[in-house]
Amino acid sequence: MGPDDSNRSNPYASPPTVFPDRPAVAQVVEERGSGPGFCPKCGSDKHKTPSFTLWGGAIGQRIISHVKCQKCGTGFNSKTGESNLRNIILYQAVIFAIVFGIYFLIAVSR
């Protein structure tokens, strides 16, 4: 390759990540904005509250406003648009404390 070949495109280069007919995820999130009601991963506004989760049963996800994006499957808080990991851990700790407290009271009363 000489100096004349610098204008040619590289046949081994990766394809562009932004297609003219389809905006990149970062562009979609920037246009729509992140936050309440939008998925933090893909920017979609289509989400659904799961009817049951392993960590929250049938009511935990409703208590902490947990929703799941129908486009990419990411779980997040519908009120803040952020991850619910901290809220899930706190929810589990409270439930554990309640169950342990009830068990302890029953054991002491015998």
Q: Is residue 5 part of a domain?
A: no
Beta strand spans in 1-110 (E): 47-48, 66-69, 75-77
In a domain, 9, yes or no: no
**Within-domain flag for 47:** yes
- Look up the domain containing 102 and give its range: 14-109
User: What is the model's pLDDT at position 39?
Assistant: 86
Burial code (b: 16+ CB inside 10 Å, e: under 16) for 17-54 equals eeeeeeeebeeebeeeeeeebbbbbebbeebeeeeebe
* Total count of domains within the chain: 1
Q: Does residue 1 lie within any of the structural domains?
A: no
pLDDT at position 9 is 75
Tell me the pLDDT tens digit for each residue of 37-87.
788 888 888 899 999 999 988 999 999 999 999 999 999 998 888 889 999
CA atoms within 13 A on the CB side of 11: 1
What is residue 97's predicted lDDT score, i.e. its pLDDT? 97
- 8 domain-assigned: no
pTM score, two decimals?
A: 0.61
Query: 88-97, pLDDT tens digit by residue?
Result: 999 999 999 9
Write out pLDDT tens, residues 17-29: 555 555 555 555 5
Scan for tokens 């506004």, then name that residue: 45
Helix/strand/coil for 6: helix
User: In this structure, is residue 49 part of a structural domain?
Assistant: yes
